[in-house]
Amino acid sequence: METERLIFFKDMILSDRGKLLKSISSVDSEIAAYMDQQLIEFSERSEEDAVVNLLNRLDYRQKKELSLMEEALSRIRSGTYGICMHCGHNIPEDRLLAIPYTTSCKLCTSKET
Ligand SMILES: [Zn+2]
């Protein structure tokens, strides 16, 4: 995928992530603490009280969504974003626009379910 498109999707995911965090916290410092974190595993963030408090407020579905967003951001960094995890084909952009953090193409998703 072209760098320009990657940046577009990165911004989209970052903005979705911001919205998710805002929905569980109105405390800006908590959100800022989380947003400042580099992409590291949740468990490694345990020193950051504000971040832990924030993450504790997430329900299962929100936690899952947040971790999918983190994974998508890390795939953007590693250059594997937009590639189906199962068949290795490019995921069509209209699908990425609908679900920016998806890891599989439509065909593979339909096979799974
Ligand atoms: Zn696929």
Q: 99 CA distance to ligand 1 centroid (A)? A: 15
Q: 89 CA distance to ligand 1 centroid (A)? A: 6
Under 8 Å between Cβ of 73 and 82: no
Q: 83 CA distance to ligand 1 centroid (A)? A: 8
pTM here is: 0.82
Domain residue ranges of the chain, discontinuous segments joined by +: 3-82
Q: 72 CA distance to ligand 1 centroid (A)? A: 16
Residue-wise pLDDT for 35-68, tens only, equals: 876 545 555 555 567 788 888 889 999 999 999 9
Q: 93 CA distance to ligand 1 centroid (A)? A: 13
What are the contacts of 88-94 at 24+ separation with CB within 8 A?
90/1, 93/5
Q: What is the pLDDT of residue 27?
A: 84
Dihedral over alpha carbons 67, 68, 70, 72 (to 10 degrees): 170
